[in-house]
A and B are shown apart, each in its own frame.
Chain A
Amino acid sequence: MRDDLVAALLRVVDPAIVLRRPEELMLYEYDGSVLDQGMPEVVVVPRTTDEVAACVKVAFQLGAPIVARGAGTGLAGGSVPEQGGLVISLTRLNRILAIDPVARTARVQAGVVNTDLSLAAARYGLHFAPDPSSQRSSTIGGNIATNAGGPHCLKYGVTSNHILAATVVLADGRVVELGSAVLDAPGYDLLGVMIGSEGTLGIVTEALVKLTPNPEAVRTFLAIYDDLDAASTTVSAIIAHGILPAALEMLVGQGIAAVEAAVHAGYPAEARAVLLIEIDGLGEEVAAQAEQIAALCRQYGARELRAAQDEAQRAKLWAGRKGALAACARIAPHYHIQDGVVPRSRLPELLRLTEEVATRYQITIVNIFHAGDGNLHPLLLFDLRHPGALERAVAASEEILQACVTAGGTISGEHGIGIEKRDYLGWIFGPADLAAFADVRAVFDPDGVMNPCKLLPSGSSCADIRHARGALRAVDRGAWI
């Protein structure tokens, strides 16, 4: 298979975009998740949609698995070539094609880095609202594939709320445009299912995205707590009072000290929990919300409420939050991360449960997460060299995730299903629901070549050929929550 695939690719595309030496391929065997690895047979780094289409066509004809990859910051194994085959890296498709300040849109190639788009839009007073913590590395294409969130999606919505149209290469190499610059053009919302489909329905090579005006006023607060329940109850209270902050993040326990040691942003290392609260909008709105939030924080037991004094301090607080995963490398060398969501009112009990689970499984769990959305990120930290540590981490993680589902929530808020959570999908969807998902997949990819065996529970055709878990990487600077 491998030799046929390489030979066929070399016949139709510039050999310069075909990577096939083992040391080149090794760079593409993993993503930001830890438990999954897989070696591609060949990697291409195309420069145009046409080159992507040509490569897809070749792999399709040979029945080889086709796995699209952006920056590889995914946390669920979505871009890991578990079944081998062809990896298509989209990082060279990195041009911002047009910014239209009147329509407040941008046309971008899939490999454009999230932050680069907002930087380019800044001169028009606009930005791209989805802001996953990986935004300095992750690409718009990858954000679309995973329907990425981020702290500010609490107010501004997730990626799917910001994509108007996409150029997509389908399984057979055909190039189609889904969605439109124009609202309500007749037809089914195929773009709606493409977003978040983790490369199983097609490969997005270009997108027309919405840009959002920068707010007139922004204020950022740090609410500091000596009691975990007091912090999580404040979160529920803010939402229940009808206040929609731009972002409402929570850091718990050891994570606070780790973050502070990494960035020196003024996070109180000894606190039990902190809330990072940002509000934005018109000046009057922000002033009114600031008062309400201060009152609620006091009412529910905050020890102290600090306001960011200037943009530099605000940026530092956010750098701490967004760099939290790397910062936690100070605690233990290996990690496993979950992404469950619960109704906001159930946060206190879930956080209590997480602590109880940590004690019971003798494992360190740090929670640094999107509290306003109810999107938990229990970060299970361990050292693989200790026998049984990984098994305990996985068992603890499953117990927390089960509790999220029982509370009326879901198994992934933003990281995706990929490999890691595909066998949990049956916890929230029944056989008929899964069959309807499979129907959609069969419409777009009848031969099952697009990122096979991801996102849906693995069927009999998906042999578990994962590499041994002994080769896990340590926590490093290349991962974000």
Chain B
Amino acid sequence: MNVASPQPTPQIAAYAIGERLPHHVAQPATVAEVAEVLAAASRTQAAVAPWGAGTRQFLTNPPLRYDLALDLRRLDRVIEYHPADLVVMVEAGISLGALQAVLAERGQWLPWDPPAPETATIGGLLATAAWGPLRLGYGGPRDWLLGMRVVLGDGRIAQSGGRVVKNVAGYDNHKLHLGAFGTLGVIAAVTFKVAPLPERIASVRAVFATPAAALHAATAIRQPPSQPVALVITVAETVTLAVRFAGVAAAVERQLGLATAACARAEAVALSVDDRELWAVPSTPDDALVLRIGVPERMLAAAVDAVTALAPSHLSIFPGLGLMVGRWPVAAATHLPALRQTLAGMDGYAVVERGPAGIDRWGPPPPTIDLMRALRRRWDPAGILNPGRWLVE
């Protein structure tokens, strides 16, 4: 294994988080090596930032201490793939794009479309609870995860779940690591169930005069029998609704028709058959304030009003998921406390996905924060994993 003297020499600068640079970079090639690194770091109280492709490090605060970047990209093997069982097990450093390519050769996929799939690693995407518009139709990665092998903060290697689609043996510990931002352990290997690629995928795009008109159409589009797999309203220079269907060609065809009819009041409607371009997620500029906003589904329209009143430069609304992602100039951060108060009245929240240093990223902690802290102390007793970076310290 290589700690600070590898081939090729790791560029320390490539592992910057905010202004901070690590003292060392480790690039383990096996799970056992990851365990060695974390056990040693725990003994010496060295602060570790687990690192996938680094595409989502901006989601949390820069570390208080940063001794070691733990680059997991050499753990990039497909361990087992059983197409006939629709199950795949991979090491966590493989990129989602590389995994999808392997699956596509057998006519299968993981219906999961988070940003930057070509580079972002499975481990990093899971640790940061990354998702994309397909979550509407297929659920999130939590619904596709069958099992996981994790190296806990103290270097113990632990697994949970299994390799079959149904399993109630032991606790579902793997779910705890999903969205934990590496504060409980480092995800080392993951088993997913996968799905056959749909026969056809196609979309309708429509331009509306107002967000309210688009939301109205979105509600109509979601009525049974239609089962859109993705639905987003983008509010920028124009208000655009995009809806995606997947499945048997004839069923997709009928749903495209129903969706087009539901968009009767739109200013313009376009059918997009090869729609990959339409659903590619654009990257956000570094100097923006980006908020992820969640509300109960029935509060979505009211929340959209509250958010659009703050004039975001770009807003994506996900009807059916109760989620929004909005972008503002950094100066808009002064509105955050008031917005949080409004959203709290709807049982909602706003999380800062990108923002200026020192901003309160998560708002008030959940009432069960004591349980979360107790769990973290069990699995990362030395507090070496991403110290100061996330909600649970």
Contact = CB atoms under 8 A, between A and B. Distances in A.
B366 interface: yes
Given A103-B298, A188-B372, A216-B225, A160 B167 contact: no
Contacts of B83: 240
Interface string B117-146: 000000000000101000000011011000
Interface stretch (A37-45, A55-63, A65-73, A424-432): A424-432
A161 B175 CA distance: 12
Contacts of A408: 163-164
Nearest to B362: A186
A4 interface: no
Contacts of B362: 186
A161 B143 contact: yes
B237 to A, nearest CB: 28
Contact of B297 (A103, A197, A373): A103
Interface in A144-166: 146-147, 149, 153, 157-158, 160-161
A117 to B, nearest CB: 19
Given A193-B176, A213-B224, A184 B292 contact: yes
A195 B167 contact: no
A149 B163 contact: no
Interface string B161-199: 011111111111101101110001000000000011100
B211 interface: no
Interface stretch (A19-27, A259-267, A433-441): A433-441
A477 B168 CA distance: 25
Given A282-B251, A288-B250, A196 B166 contact: no
B391 interface: yes
A240 B366 contact: no
Given A181-B347, A182-B294, A282 B168 contact: no
Given A282-B227, A413-B164, A187 B366 contact: yes
B84 A184 contact: no
B216 interface: no
A190 B322 contact: no
Given A182-B349, A183-B323, A413 B166 contact: yes
Contacts of A146: 168
Interface string B233-267: 00000000000000110110011000000000000
Nearest to A187: B366
A417 B168 CA distance: 8
Contacts of A214: 224
Nearest to A177: B367
Contact of A187 (B173, B297, B392): B392
Contacts, number: 234
B335 interface: no
A161 B145 CA distance: 11
B295 interface: yes
Nearest to A404: B164
Contacts of A244: 195-196
Contacts of B250: 284, 288
A161 B139 contact: yes
Nearest to B318: A183
Contacts of B326: none
Nearest to A208: B296
A433 B168 contact: no
Interface string B212-234: 00000000000011010000000
B297 A102 contact: yes
A412 interface: yes
Interface stretch (A307-315, A339-347, A388-396, A466-474): A339-347
Contacts of B158: 432-433, 435-436
Interface in B59-95: 82-87
A186 B349 contact: yes
A147 B351 CA distance: 30
A188 B184 contact: yes
Interface residues of B, number: 77
Contact of A193 (B152, B164, B173, B366): B173
Given A429-B159, A432-B157, A443 B247 contact: no
B278 interface: no
A436 B142 CA distance: 20
B272 interface: no
Given A146-B168, A410-B162, A343 B375 contact: no
User: Which of A125, A192, A425, A434 has the most CB atoms of chain B within a 10 A radius of its CB?
Assistant: A192
A192 B142 contact: yes
A239 B179 contact: no
B244 to A, nearest CB: 15
A344 B250 CA distance: 29
Contacts of B196: 242-244
A414 interface: yes
A283 B158 CA distance: 45
A77 interface: no
Given A282-B247, A432-B157, A440 B173 contact: yes
B32 interface: no
A188 B169 CA distance: 21
Given A190-B371, A436-B379, A411 B366 contact: no
B339 interface: no
Interface in B266-318: 292, 294-298
**Nearest 10 pairs between A and B by C-beta?**
A242-B196, A192-B175, A436-B158, A284-B250, A284-B251, A413-B166, A240-B84, A103-B297, A216-B225, A182-B294
28 contacts: A182-B347, A183-B294, A184-B292, A184-B323, A188-B372, A196-B172, A197-B171, A201-B171, A213-B224, A240-B84, A243-B196, A282-B248, A284-B248, A285-B247, A288-B250, A342-B164, A343-B87, A343-B164, A344-B85, A410-B162, A410-B169, A411-B169, A414-B168, A429-B159, A430-B159, A433-B160, A439-B379, A443-B374
